[in-house]
Structures are given as C-alpha cells and as structure tokens.
Amino acid sequence: MSAPGTARQRNRTLWFWIFTGPFALGLLLFTYVPLAWSVWLSFFDAQNTVTPTDFVGLDNYTAMLRDPAFRSSLATFALFTAFIVPATYALSLGLALAVGRLRRAQAFFRSVFFLPAACSYVVAALIWKMSIFNGVRFGLANTVLGWFGTDQVAWLATTDPPWYWLVVVTVRLWLQAGFYMVLFLAGLQRIPPQLYEAAAVDGARPGWQTFRHITFPALRPTSVAVVLLLVIGAFQAFDEFYNLLSDARGYPPYARPPLVYLYYTALGQGQNLGLGSAGAVILALIIAVVTVVQARWSGLGRRGEGAA
C-alpha cells in the first residue's frame, strides 16, 4: 500500500533537484567556493599567485588594520553613508507618498520612478560623467548653471570644494530611489484605512499631523528595513566611484570606498591577493556587525513588529 506513496515522494524529490540543482551548483561554485578560497588566501603571502605556500597567519589582517589608506576608505564609507542614506530615505518616502495619493496613472508613475533601478550602475555612471557632469561648457549641469550666469564647474576635478561628491551621490540617488519607493508603497498599503478614519473623527487634520502620528509610525518596520539595506548598499559602493573617479592617483585617499581600495590592492599593480582577501574578510565582518547592531537597536524581527 505504501509503494505508490513512496514512488510519488521519490518523484517529488527528483523534480526538486532537477529544478533547484543547477542553481544550487552555481551558488556553490560561484559564491561559496570563492568565499572560502578568499578566507584561505587571507592567511598566506599570496602576492601574484592564487596558490600560495607561505603561511603568514594573521599578518595580513594586522597589516590591513594598520594601513592608513584602508582606514581612510572606511571613513569614506561613513561620509558616503551620511550623504546617501538620509537623501535616499527622504526622496523615496516622498515619492511613495506622492504616488500613493494619485487617483489616476499611479501604475505609470510607479513604473517611471522604478525604471532607473533596472539600469546598470556602470552605464549610469558613464552618463553622469560624460553628459551631465563632464565639466565642459556644453555639459548639461554647466549649461543649466550658465542660464543663471554662474561660472562653469569642474565637477570631477580634485578641487575645493570636492564637487565630485555631488556627482557620486546623485547617480546613486537616481538609481535606487525608485526601488525603495516601491518598498514604501507596499508599507503604505498595509496601513488600515480605519486608522485614518478614526483620526479624522478625533479631529486630526490631514497632512503633516496625520503623517506624523499615523503614517510614519505605521511605516516603522519598512523604514528599518530600508535603512538597513541602504547602509549595506553603501558598504558595497564600487561602480560609481570606480567609473566616475577612474584616475585614482589624482584623487585623495578619502575618495576611495573600501571595495575600490581592495580592488586596487588585490588586482592593481602589486596584486597582493592575500592582503586584499584579508581586507575583504574584515569588511564582511564589519558589515555583519553593523547589520546585527542596527537590527537589534531598531527591533527588526521582534515579535509583533510590523503588525498593523
């Protein structure tokens, strides 16, 4: 009697591995094996080789932590985070509130604002660099400034003030604001309309008062998740810095975030893969610690969190 059931179970198991096996194999080969290999390399003197034999223990980690350039790259992350996290949060929340109030063409505007999220960071960085903020007279940014009689700005030059920060932040802001807008829209749809009706009965005025006492508190779970993703994304900043500030020698050390610095360490002229791998492990540990601390501090995942 149990033979047909056993055969069906084996069929399900077979089809499960047929569909998930290629993805699991790709994840193993292209994610977990390189991660393990990077951790292994971090304990060796792996300059110009991926098969080292000279075990150095924690020397690579010590050298990386003592490197002023690596510490400067972490300061760059902090500065970039201070710019991009609040700006993206405010813009995406504002877009979500505006689009959520539309009675018509809501799907159209939702798609328009989300569309940049599908664009490559490399392509967007090149557009910003060559068409908008290229620093020449006919560039879009300088053309607009010319309408108001303002002098041209060398946006990507190592000048004081460092205008390249505006270029780096705006390209990331344009690329990701629409994605987080969709997350906020989903959070807004979870707020029961009865809350607004009860607030109106109690005399709450629509607008700022309703947003402050109802909408914003109800969006707390979404806000925590958005800020967490933004901080992790700031740690992983690479494409815009590398493509916009391609002449690394012309820029000060604080113009390099951690991933750009590790790229030049591991694949630059020295090709010190052991030192670069140690830096990557340190960066991964920092991301993990920051994520856990932020999640604990904000109460992410706490029982009852997000119940609306």
Please report the pLDDT score of residue 303 as a whole number. Answer: 56
Please report the pLDDT score of residue 281 as a whole number. Answer: 92
* Crossing angle between the packed helical segments 273-298 and 258-267, to the nearest 10 degrees: 160
Please report the pLDDT score of residue 5 as a whole number. Answer: 62
Q: Is the pLDDT of residue 70 over 90?
A: no
* DSSP-assigned letter for residue 55: B
Q: List residues bridging with 55 in a β-sheet.
A: 44
Residue 145 CB partners (closer than 8 Å, separation 6+): 151, 152, 153
- Please state the rounded mean pLDDT for residues 173-186: 93
* Crossing angle between the packed helical segments 59-66 and 68-100, to the nearest 10 degrees: 70
Q: 277: burial class by Cβ within 10 Å (0-12, 13-18, 19+)? A: buried
Please report the pLDDT score of residue 214 as a whole number. Answer: 83
Confidence of residue 300 (pLDDT cuts 50, 70, 90): low
Phi-psi region of 301 (alpha: psi -120 to 50; beta: other; left: phi over 0): left
Q: Specify whether the CB–CB gap between 161 and 153 falls below 8 A.
A: no
- Please state the rounded mean pLDDT for residues 163-169: 88
Please report the pLDDT score of residue 174 as a whole number. Answer: 94
Q: How many whole angstroms from its chain centre is CA 94?
A: 19
Confidence of residue 307 (pLDDT cuts 50, 70, 90): very low
pLDDT tens string 146-158: 888 888 888 887 7
- Please state the rounded mean pLDDT for residues 92-96: 94
Please report the pLDDT score of residue 306 as a whole number. Answer: 44
Please report the pLDDT score of residue 250 as a whole number. Answer: 55
* Tokens representing residue 46 in the block: 């792996």
Residue 235 CB partners (closer than 8 Å, separation 6+): 77, 258, 283, 286, 287, 290
Q: Hey, which bits of the chain come out as E strands?
A: none
Q: 57: burial class by Cβ within 10 Å (0-12, 13-18, 19+)? A: exposed
Distance, CA of 196 to CA of 208 (rounded, Å)? 13
- Please state the rounded mean pLDDT for residues 295-300: 74
**Buried residues in 210-237 as b, exposed as e (16+ CB within 10 A):** beeebbeebbebbbbbbbbbbbebbbeb
* Crossing angle between the packed helical segments 164-189 and 106-114, to the nearest 10 degrees: 140
Residue 265 CB partners (closer than 8 Å, separation 6+): 272, 275, 276, 279
What domains, with CATH codes, occur in the chain?
45-298 (1.10.3720.10)
Please report the pLDDT score of residue 157 as a whole number. Answer: 77
Please report the pLDDT score of residue 246 as a whole number. Answer: 66
Query: Mean pLDDT of all residues in the chain?
Result: 84
Residue whose tokens read 């910003």: 128
Among the listed ranges 27-36, 52-61, 66-75, 251-260, which one has the minimum average pLDDT value? 251-260
Distance, CA of 217 to CA of 197 (rounded, Å)? 16
Q: Is the pLDDT of residue 271 over 80?
A: yes
Confidence of residue 254 (pLDDT cuts 50, 70, 90): low
More confident residue, 102 or 10: 102
Dihedrals φ, ψ of 160, to 5°? -120, 115
Q: Is the pLDDT of residue 253 over 60?
A: no
pLDDT tens string 73-88: 888 888 888 889 999 9
